[in-house]
Structure 1
Amino acid sequence: MNMNVVHSQASTNTDLITIQTKHGVHFNESILIEGYAFAKPSLMNINWSISQPSVSGEIWEEIESGQLFSTVIPLDSEQWTWMVELVNWNLSCTCILEITAEYHGIEQVEKVAFFAGSGAKVPALVLDSEPKFRMATSVEVTSYPIIHEFDINESVISLRWCEAPTGACSEDMKESYANLSYKRGIEYSFIINAIELGLSDGIYLFHISVIDAALRSSPYVRLEVSIDMNSPVIIMDYDEDIEEDDMIVIDASASSDGFWQHDLQVNWYILSPQSTQLVGASTEDYEGLVFAKNISTSGTWQITVEVIDAMGNSVTDVALINVSNKPPSGNLTINGIMPDQSVQTMQHDDAWTFEAINLVDSSSDLSLIDISWYVNGEIEGKEPAYVLNSSNFSSGVHEIKLVIMDDDGEQYAINLTIEIQSAPSIESSNNTTIVYILVSSLILMFGIFIWRIMERKNKSSLTKWNEDVKKDS
C-alpha cells in the first residue's frame, strides 16, 4: 500500500501552490524559495515558517515566519510565480520551509528542506504521506531523505513507536530500523511492516527519522498509524427452524473487528429453495447487521452475510434456515350452515350444497390449494362447492370427505356421515289408496243415510200441516 499526497515537485488540478525549489539546495548568505500559485495569491490565506532542529535534535523549532510572499509575478490569468526571499540571512542550519495555503475552505501544506551556511549539517526527512493513515500488515512510505555530504544509500530509517489509542503513548517507545529503497529523482521509500515489528490491531504513534553515515539523526516526523490486519469476526443469532409466513430474523450486530469494534460494512445475500444462485438482498430486508425478511415458501433458505472492515478485510458466514410447510386447513358448510354433528340425516328426494370455506395456508400456497370431494371413497368433485342429490344414491349411510391439499402434498380432511332415508314402498302406497277409498265410501254412504232420514222427517211434517189447514177451513 503506497500512501501518496500532493507534493511540491508535481502539480495537480487541485493544487493551490507548488514549490519548485528542490529538496537539499544549499544557500549561503541569502535564502530564495520559489514556486507557483494556481489561485490569486492576494485572495489566499498564506502562512509560511522556517524551522531548524532543536537543541536536542529531535524536533523542529520555528525560527522565522511570515504571511506574505516576498514577490508575486503573474504569468497568466490562472498562474502566478511566487518567492520567499531572506537576504543576508547569515545562519548555518539544516532547515525546512513550510507553507500553508488556504482558499475557499481548501487547505494545502507544502514543505522543502534545504541547507544554509557552512559546516556539517544534520540530515532532514520529508515524508510524502498523510500524518494519519490506516494499514493492514505493511505500508510503503515515500520519503525525501536530505543528506549533507554523505551518500543516501549509507543512510537508514529509524522507526520509534508506541501504542497510542488516545493519541498519546501509553507505553515506552520501541525502536527498529528500515532500509531505504530508491524510487526516482530524490524520492526513496521504506516499509513499515506490522508483523516484523510485532504489532497487532490498534493505533500507534511513530517517530520517524533518517540517520546518515556519521550517525547523525534528523528531527523526527510524527505519524499516527492505525493497524487493521485481522479480519472481522461474525457472530449471528437466529432461529434455524421457522414456519411459512414467519419472518427470518438474523442479528449479526455482535460482530466486531477486534480493536476497531463495529466499524464495519455489510452485504447480505439470499439463496431461496427454488434458486441455484445467490442474489443480493433488497435494502428493505436489512438494516446494517440485522436481517429481517418475511418468508412464505417452505424449504431451506441460505442467507449469507459478508462483513468488510475499513481495510477491505472481508469475511462471510452462512445461516441455513429450515422453513417448514404450513399445513392447510378449512371448514365446510351444508346449505350455508356449518354442521355441528358428524352424522347428518337427509331425505330421499333432497339436494344439499356442500362448500369448502375459511381456507387457511401460507400466502404463497393459498392460491395453489387443491380441493377434492369424496363420496364413499370415490371422487365426486374438485370445485369449492359440491351438490349432493340424494336421489342419485341409495338409502342408508354414505361417507362424505372434503380433502384440502397444498402444493407440498400436505392434506387436511373433514369427514361427515350422511344417512339418506328410504323412499315409501309401492305396496304401502296401494294400501293407503284402498283405505282412502273405503273411508271415503263409508263417509259418502253415511251422508246419504242421514240425508234420507232428514228427507222423511220433512215429508211427515208437511202432511200434518196440510191436515191441520183443512180442519181450520
Structure 2
Amino acid sequence: MLLPTGSTSSPVSDSELTSTLENGIWVNETLSVNGTTNLAPQNANWVLYDVTDVYTEWPILRSGEYFSHVTPIDENVWNWSITIDVQGLSCTCWLEVSQPDGLSKAIINRVIFIGLGPHNPLLQPLHDDLIVVDEPVLLTTQGILSGDSIGESKIFLSWCHAPNGACDGDLYSAEVNVTWDISQQSNVGTFVIDATELELYDGTWQFSYVLQDMFLRTSPKVDVQVLVDQTDPEARLTSPSQVTEGETIIVDGSDSSDGVWSSKLQTVWYITEPDGSLRVADQSESSGMFLTLKPTVPGNYSIQLDVFDNVGRKSSETSQFVVYNMAPKLELKLDDSDEVSPNSWQIDENDVLDISTIVDETSNDRTNLIYEWYINDRLVSNDSELSTRLGVGVHELRIVVTDDNGESAVHEMDIIVKGEVTEKTGELNLMGIALIVTIIVGVILFTKRIRKNENDNSPMPKWNSSKKNESVAEYSNDEEELQMWNDSD
C-alpha cells in the first residue's frame, strides 16, 4: 500500500480539519497531536499504522474513536488534541485522523518516527502514479527524514521498457538532479523526466525512484508508470463520393494512426449539412473510428474527423460526398383487388371507384408529397386516395405524385364503365318474344281452319285435292258400303 498524497476533505464542503503537527516528528514515549475543526467534535476517529514497509499490509498499532480533549474557541470552531502512548514502539508510522463530513470524510495524516532508530527516510509522492510524457515532465515529491538535513539527500531513478506491465529488456538507472524546497520545513523536491534525454521511445515504461539520506539509508521506492508518446497523430478518412437519399453510408476513419498508440486515439466527428449548418455527430451515429449516416436531405455533405492522442495533439481530415434525391416510387391499389397498378380497370355503372396509393419515399419527403388525380385531363383531387363514380364509357385516369425536390412518379390507366342490364328489361324481352310466337301460331291455326271450312262448304268437286284427301274419301266410301252390307244382314 502506497502513501496517500496528503490531507483530504469533502470537495463540496467548507469543513476544515487541521493540525499543527509537522511531518517527520520523532517521539519515543508519548505522541501529542493538536489541531482545530469546525465539524462536530464528538465524531472523530484516529489510527496509527506501521509503514516501515510501505508495500505490505499496514499493521494497526493504536486506534481510537474520540478526541482526547476538545475546547470551543469560537462559534462552531473547536480546538482538539489526541494523546497516544507509544512507549515500546519502534517504527516509521502513519497517523490518520478523520471526521465524518456528510457522505464523505475530512482527513489529515502525518508521518511520525517512533523509537530509538535509526529510521530510514520516506518519500510521499505529490504526483499521479501514471503520467504521459511528450515534453519533459516535472515530478514533485516530499522527502521525510528523522531529523537529518534534506539538502544532502539524493534521488536515484530506475526505468525499463514495460509494454506488458513488467520489464522487457535492459534496466537503466541514474541519479536525478533534484531541487529541494526547505522553506517552512516542507522538504519538497522536484525533478524532470525528459524522454529525449533518457532516450525513451514511444510505449510504456516502468519507473521507480528512491530517496537516499546523508547516511546512505534509502527510502522505500516509489513506482510510476510512464507512457511516452512523441508521435503526431494522423487522421485518415474513407467514404463513398455519392449516395442516394435514404441510403445508409459508413465513413471509415480506422486508418488513422498514432504509432504504438493508434488504438488509444480519441475521436470527434463533425457533419456539415447541405444548408451549411455544422453539428457534432450524435452518439447513435458515431462509434470510435466509424460514422454511420442515413441522410434524408439531398445535397452536398462534408464530414470532418478530429483525432486526439494521449497528450492532446490533434489531427483533422475532411471528406465530401453528394446525396442524390430519390424519386418517389408509386403503386396503385384498386378496390379490394390484389392486382397492383393495372393499365386498365372495368367497373359497372353506379359502382364506386376506390383507389389508394402506396409510395416508396424517404421519411423526410413522405410528409411533403403532392398528389394530383386527373380524369380525362381534369384535376379532380389532391388527396392520397381517390373515391368517385363515373358515367358509362371509357375514362382516362392519371395520378402524379411529386416530392419536395420536384421529382415525380406518374401512372396512367383506362377506367371502363359498363352500362347496367336490369332484370326487368330481360323479363320484358322474354314476354315480347313469347307474345310474338303466340300470335304467329294463332295466325297459322286460324288460316288453316278457314281453308278447311271453305273446302267443306264448296259444291264443286275438289279436283285439285291432295292425295291425302282422296285417301280419306275412299276410306269413307268403303265404310259406307260395309255399312250397307251389315244392314242387309
Q: Same fold (TM over 0.5)?
A: yes
Q: CA deviation at 1:328?
A: 1.6
For 2:405, give the aligned amino acid: D
For 1:410, give the aligned amino acid: E
Unaligned 5+ runs, structure 1: 52-59, 90-94, 420-445, 466-473
Match of 2:68 in 1: 73
Q: CA deviation at 1:334?
A: 8.3
Matched residue of 1:408: which SS?
coil
For 1:202, give the aligned amino acid: G
Name the CA distance, whole Å, in 1 between partners of 2:149 and 2:46: 39
- Does residue 223 in structure 1 map to residue 218 in structure 2? no
| Structure 1 contact 142–187 (Cα < 8 Å) conserved | no
Name the CA distance, whole Å, in 2 between partners of 1:45 and 1:150: 28
For 1:135, give the aligned amino acid: V
Instruction: Summarize deviations over 1:409-439 as a string: whole Å, max 9, x none.
Output: 23334466999xxxxxxxxxxxxxxxxxxxx
Match of 2:424 in 1: none
1:57-456 pair list within 5 angstroms: 67-68=61-62, 73-75=68-70, 80-83=81-84, 85=86, 96-99=92-95, 110=109, 112=111, 124=121, 126-129=123-126, 132-137=129-134, 138-145=136-143, 152=151, 157-170=155-168, 171-175=170-174, 177-180=176-179, 182=181, 185=184, 186-196=186-196, 197-209=198-210, 218-219=218-219, 221-227=221-227, 229=229, 239=240, 241-250=242-251, 259=260, 262=263, 268-274=269-275, 276-281=277-282, 283-286=283-286, 291-303=291-303, 320-331=320-331, 357-372=357-372, 380=379, 383=382, 385=386, 402-414=399-411
Match of 1:47 in 2: 49
Q: CA deviation at 1:163?
A: 2.3
Q: CA deviation at 1:128?
A: 3.4
Instruction: Summarize deviations over 1:81-128 as a string: whole Å, max 9, x none.
Output: 144645798xxxxx954457899999989563779989xx99946233
For 2:330, give the aligned amino acid: G
For 1:412, give the aligned amino acid: A
| Structure 1 contact 72–83 (Cα < 8 Å) conserved | no
Name the CA distance, whole Å, in 1 between partners of 2:44 and 2:356: 89
Name the CA distance, whole Å, in 2 between partners of 1:100 and 1:229: 38
For 2:279, give the aligned amino acid: L
Name the CA distance, whole Å, in 2 between partners of 1:130 and 1:17: 23
Name the CA distance, whole Å, in 1 between partners of 2:153 and 2:458: 176
Matched residue of 1:296: which SS?
coil
Name the CA distance, whole Å, in 2 between partners of 1:382 and 1:284: 41
Q: CA deviation at 1:324?
A: 2.9
The percent identity for this pair of structures is 17
Larger Rg: 2
CA RMSD of aligned residues (A): 6.1
Matched residue of 2:409: which SS?
strand
Name the CA distance, whole Å, in 1 between partners of 2:341 and 2:55: 100
Matched residue of 2:62: which SS?
coil
Q: CA deviation at 1:408?
A: 2.1
| Greater share of residues in strand | 1
Q: Is the deviation greater in 199-208 or in 337-346? A: 337-346
Matched residue of 2:205: which SS?
strand
Name the CA distance, whole Å, in 1 between partners of 2:226 and 2:410: 67
Normalised to the residue count of structure 2, the TM-score between the two structures is 0.57
Residues 149 and 98 of structure 1: CA distance in aligned 2, closer, same or farther (over 3 Å) = closer
Name the CA distance, whole Å, in 1 between partners of 2:375 and 2:313: 67
| Structure 1 contact 246–294 (Cα < 8 Å) conserved | yes
Instruction: Summarize deviations over 1:1-31 as a string: whole Å, max 9, x none.
Output: xxx9642xx664599998854346577xx47
| Structure 2 contact 123–219 (Cα < 8 Å) conserved | no
Q: CA deviation at 1:277?
A: 2.9
Matched residue of 2:367: which SS?
helix
| Structure 1 contact 123–145 (Cα < 8 Å) conserved | no
For 1:362, give the aligned amino acid: T
| Structure 1 contact 127–142 (Cα < 8 Å) conserved | no
Q: CA deviation at 1:276?
A: 0.7
Name the CA distance, whole Å, in 1 between partners of 2:49 and 2:447: 153
| Structure 1 contact 21–33 (Cα < 8 Å) conserved | no
| Structure 1 contact 351–390 (Cα < 8 Å) conserved | no
Name the CA distance, whole Å, in 2 between partners of 1:25 and 1:335: 99
| Structure 2 contact 331–340 (Cα < 8 Å) conserved | no
Q: Is the deviation greater in 178-187 or in 161-170? A: 178-187
For 2:190, give the aligned amino acid: F
Q: CA deviation at 1:357?
A: 3.2
Instruction: Summarize deviations over 1:204-228 as a string: whole Å, max 9, x none.
Output: 333334578x896854632222325
| Structure 1 contact 122–216 (Cα < 8 Å) conserved | no
